[in-house]
Amino acid sequence: GFAANNRTVEGGAYFSYNGSNLDGFSCSGDPAACGSGTGGSGDTSFFFSYYQTTTPATALYNGISVLAPGVTSISATGDTPGVQLGGQTTVNFTFNNNPEWQASGTNNFGVILTLGKFYDLDAGPGVTPCNLKLLAVVKPLNNGAATPYAVPLSSFQVIQACNTG
């Protein structure tokens, strides 16, 4: 569940990100084209994000980020302290999608793990922050109704290695 001020009840943070070719793939926050919000309380609380364009877009994306308990942002200058993966073998969450998306032929969604280890990709005095990212593509379950997911860590693939090899 979610608490007020973009925080989870476990002390993490959440936010949305989106964009299209019409806005340089960086949503400006214009409520006519994109937005997000929250509702409910406790275990029935929810967070939503939407993206629509005033003219047809040739490409767009929309996503929601949820940070681990106690993590409110990813550092751009050093390692981000927080949750450690020890004996955990799955990423667990509850998710549902709207009927239009569920009925489409392309309703898979991606789960991206961003690790807290910091790398600077700039060899000079500047800083180009980078964190390792892993992706798992998930097929929605239960015809779009709220469903618990347990995505095995073994199903994730590295999509950003920060030049670490």
Per-residue pLDDT reduced to its tens digit, 67-101:
888 899 999 999 998 877 778 889 888 888 878 87
Side-chain-side CA neighbours of 144 within 13 Å: the count stands at 9
Q: Among 72, 96, 125, which residue terminates a domain?
A: 72
Rounded-to-integer distance, Cα 75 and Cα 23, Å? 26
Counted domains in the chain: 2
Domain shared by 159 and 81, yes or no: yes
Burial pattern 127-138, b for ≥16 Cβ within 10 A else e, equals eeebbbbbebee
**pLDDT tens sequence across 12-61:** 888 888 888 888 888 776 666 777 788 887 777 788 887 788 888 888 88
Contact indicator for 94, 149 with CB cutoff of 8 Å:
yes
Question: What pTM value is reported for the model?
Answer: 0.79
- Burial category of 110 from C-beta neighbours within 10 Å (exposed 0-12, middle 13-18, buried 19 and up): exposed
Contact indicator for 104, 154 with CB cutoff of 8 Å:
no
- Kindly tell me if the per-residue pLDDT of 65 is higher than 70: yes
Domain shared by 25 and 40, yes or no: yes
pLDDT for the residue numbered 133: 94
pLDDT mean over 104-112: 87
Please give the sequence-ordered ranges of beta strands (E in DSSP) within the chain, or none if there are none.
14-20, 34-39, 46-51, 60-66, 90-95, 109-120, 129-138, 147-152, 157-160
Domain shared by 105 and 150, yes or no: yes
Give, as one character, the DSSP assignment of residue 102. Answer: H
pLDDT for the residue numbered 66: 87
| Greater model confidence, 3 or 147 | 147
Domain shared by 117 and 147, yes or no: yes
- Where does the pLDDT of residue 147 fall: very low under 50, low under 70, confident under 90, or very high at 90 and above? confident
- Where does the pLDDT of residue 128 fall: very low under 50, low under 70, confident under 90, or very high at 90 and above? very high
* Boundaries of domain holding 124: 74-165
pLDDT for the residue numbered 17: 83
pLDDT for the residue numbered 32: 66
Domain shared by 28 and 61, yes or no: yes
Tokens of 31: 């409520």
Domain shared by 160 and 81, yes or no: yes
Domain shared by 65 and 112, yes or no: no
